[in-house]
Structure 1
């Protein structure tokens, strides 16, 4: 979590954009992403140059010699952030708009530049030289503060803070999943060093970033002291897909700022025939969009065979089962309707999860968790793909607090079920003795089958009614008469005082 000067600097950068006429949070983050990418190219190039000089190895800078931009050849050094940030506002604007942006778009031919592929359709939207000059100065201040702070993941925290300003749902119904909910889901599934992790609706890559952070904290020696595992972590562990190119760029930069060299973040309609993945991933973490209905012609025929529906939340569950390896795990967020919907498609997908695979947990979340973005009631499903059943007892948890108020303000509060959820799930055998009047309890598979595969917690939770003892009616009436007499006396005293 960032605080103090750094937070103020980022808020100040936001104010600069607003004063310059750019108020759309997504556009602002996109433009900041481009500029951070350009600055990072210079920093990385300078670092490699110094390391090569120290080791006596040859190194050719990507800014070396002349660079061809269209029909013109220009001195490559002018494209370096450390050079052009000293130019006058007008000259800097021309250099970035006419030279730097075309330069980063053409970097995809340089295989060493893993992130250039996300910049090939970048559009420079800063309207005036003065705004650009102020933004560049502000970013220089932010980078200087980040360098002074010795926290290991200050870059990631800065980016997360910027992403928190995305307060509106995307046009496809996606909205940013709160970081603490993502972290809880990651801790529940406990990613391993050899996992292949996927989020088929990755947005800003929040789940992938959190999984990477968790692995760095809990499996650091296993991953970073082993060449093959480090290679896997940097290049093939993390996979994300989205249909919003802006989200892809932001998601890719988010991964980069958290130290992942080359995640596979790609433009893809995960529900279409364009997605041929099958039995590929060992872990899925996702909060897929619940935008209602899709055109059936756009949906993969394989998915419709299992679950004939147009509802995205049901199709994504079907997709998860298809792309998981046998033994692969999934933790995903679903709207409450998935748990109790009475349509054939709703029942079919629940039956497949319960009968053909192993459903482990249903965690019911309060409707305020996604405020101010949305007030939808949701739940977390945790299951393992087995292909041959395995559901025995399903763990239900009635989560009523997540450490924040459940209104639009979402201010921190003391009530928080998350530590209890994690602790109980890690020791799930002890839950067998819990009563259905408790916050969490186990439900045998047969009960779920008997209830038409209904997974809503209210179907199984028992409410314990406390018997309240009231005094006899005669005693209550006597008390009322006594109160009336006292009121009468007080009124008489008041009338005497007032001389009425």
Structure 2
């Protein structure tokens, strides 16, 4: 049975438990159990490698609290030892009173925030066991015990299954939705920021960690991992990925997502990014690449607003200033912003955009269709690309236009963005003007659409950066006053005729 089928079985079991309510809860509970099984297999693998090298591996977990001792102890035949396997109230008491306090204390027992011990403590600091029935937990442990995370194929499948869990949590709506950005959007953004091993990559609102995970996959897949030196691999593991997350659930989901995907030591911490005074940042604090979809529509207190040169209670404007200050010289950024950031011209928005255009190179803006973040938000959004390579001169726009209206059940796909990615890497094929193009119809008579255009900075008025696709503008035919009057009289005549017909029907 595939991992996905096993996870589906577990979610069905959890739905019957009194302590679980909704996708957010069962994702959280499956996560900590999956993580401990993964950790067990990871440590067993490290111990085997050390044995072959003639050294000894020092386990993170003490012996009686490792998976094979408390979760699924085995008899001499390798079968579940029912005499030693806890269930019912005994199992719940052990998890709540012994296992969790032990794991939660890890963060305070080490001074190295890069160590696996610290990361485990940071994860479990914000977790609680919500499963009420020990018999339910026993069923779940038995299913997960059959998974083998020492197998690279199963580990890859696990990472995909976990993504699906996070997606279902996002689709559940409510506050959980903010942790999940559609994979198609993330993939396109990663593929168009030219990341490479040696870059530091930052997300100031990591949510479920999608941007950092996709960046890692991009750097190691398709045979790239085998070409890395030991030094490059070490840098990738411990010095590449950085981030912050305000919510405890988002932090836990993000950390687990990264570790389960193979990032052993992400530099991710829990906290409100906006509490940092951006005037204090120095070049050593900044990053080569910024990829983010920060929360928008929120409000921040005056005390937090004072951390920014341009004060505003709109979180999107504060985050934009934060990311501008966090970008290294020659760094690249791709950030999802609500439509309002581009078109609003009130004092705070104008000041920030003026700084952005004059001190940074805003080279690309992608207009995303409405419905990208359904069901938890219907706000129209854009992807804003800029780098720290001088001032803005020309902005290339791309309008993502799916052939159907996006809904919860008909989400955006990578196919909808593939042309943008291609044109990004082939600038010679882009539309270099802001003029409306008349594209001849294809042989089948279908008119081709043009989704991109370029605007010179001199044509931007009042710092309005909104995407106005010139190819979708309906041309207005201006008629003479005489012709307009004639058309009005003709309409009046037709209306009177219809009214007379209706009256005759009523009288008849």
Runs of 5+ consecutive residues of structure 2 not aligned to the other structure: 75-79, 438-449, 478-486, 488-508
Count, aligned residues: 445
Contact 2:3 2:158 in 1 (8 A): no
Q: Is 289-298 or 164-173 further displaced after alignment?
A: 164-173
Runs of 5+ consecutive residues of structure 1 not aligned to the other structure: 68-74, 468-472, 474-500
Which residue pairs with 1:348 in the alignment?
351
Contact 1:42 1:80 in 2 (8 A): no
Distance 1:292 1:93, change over 3 A: closer
How big is the alpha-carbon RMSD for the aligned residues of Structure 1 and Structure 2?
Answer: 3.0
Q: For 1:374-417, what per-residue CA distance to the aligned partner results, in whole angstroms no more than 9, with x for missing partners?
A: 2111111100124x41x12110111111x87512212688x943
2:52 is equivalent to residue 54 of structure 1: yes
Which residue pairs with 1:378 in the alignment?
381
- The alpha carbon displacement at 1:436 in A equals 3.5
Q: Partners in 2 of 1:34 and 1:277 — Cα distance?
A: 35
2:465 is equivalent to residue 455 of structure 1: yes
Q: For 1:113-172, what per-residue CA distance to the aligned partner results, in whole angstroms no more than 9, with x for missing partners?
A: 35213213432211111111122123234x25x777836621210110110111245649
Which residue pairs with 2:106 in the alignment?
107
- Aligned ranges for residues 4-15 of structure 1 at < 5 Å? 5-15=2-12
Which residue pairs with 2:457 in the alignment?
445
1:457 counterpart SS class? coil
Q: Partners in 1 of 2:232 and 2:222 — Cα distance?
A: 14
Which residue pairs with 1:410 in the alignment?
410
Which residue pairs with 1:400 in the alignment?
401
- Aligned ranges for residues 229-268 of structure 1 at < 5 Å? 229-268=232-271
Contact 1:400 1:417 in 2 (8 A): yes
Q: Partners in 2 of 1:8 and 1:329 — Cα distance?
A: 40
Q: Give the one of 108, 126, 134 matched to 2:131.
A: 126
Which residue pairs with 1:24 in the alignment?
22
Distance 1:455 1:404, change over 3 A: same
Q: Partners in 1 of 2:362 and 2:222 — Cα distance?
A: 26
Which residue pairs with 2:221 in the alignment?
217
Which residue pairs with 2:496 in the alignment?
none
Q: Partners in 2 of 1:118 and 1:411 — Cα distance?
A: 31
- The alpha carbon displacement at 1:34 in A equals 1.6
Q: Partners in 1 of 2:159 and 2:59 — Cα distance?
A: 27
Q: Partners in 2 of 1:282 and 1:335 — Cα distance?
A: 24
**TM-score, length-scaled by structure 1:** 0.81
2:81 is equivalent to residue 81 of structure 1: no
Which residue pairs with 1:183 in the alignment?
187
Contact 1:63 1:79 in 2 (8 A): no
Q: Give the one of 313, 316, 320 matched to 2:319.
A: 316
Which residue pairs with 2:342 in the alignment?
339
1:309 counterpart SS class? coil
Q: Partners in 2 of 1:314 and 1:299 — Cα distance?
A: 10
Q: Give the one of 190, 193, 196 matched to 2:197.
A: 193
Contact 2:71 2:141 in 1 (8 A): no
Q: Partners in 2 of 1:104 and 1:377 — Cα distance?
A: 42
1:334 counterpart SS class? strand
Which residue pairs with 2:290 in the alignment?
284
Q: Partners in 2 of 1:77 and 1:63 — Cα distance?
A: 9
Q: Partners in 2 of 1:38 and 1:172 — Cα distance?
A: 23
- The alpha carbon displacement at 1:330 in A equals 0.7
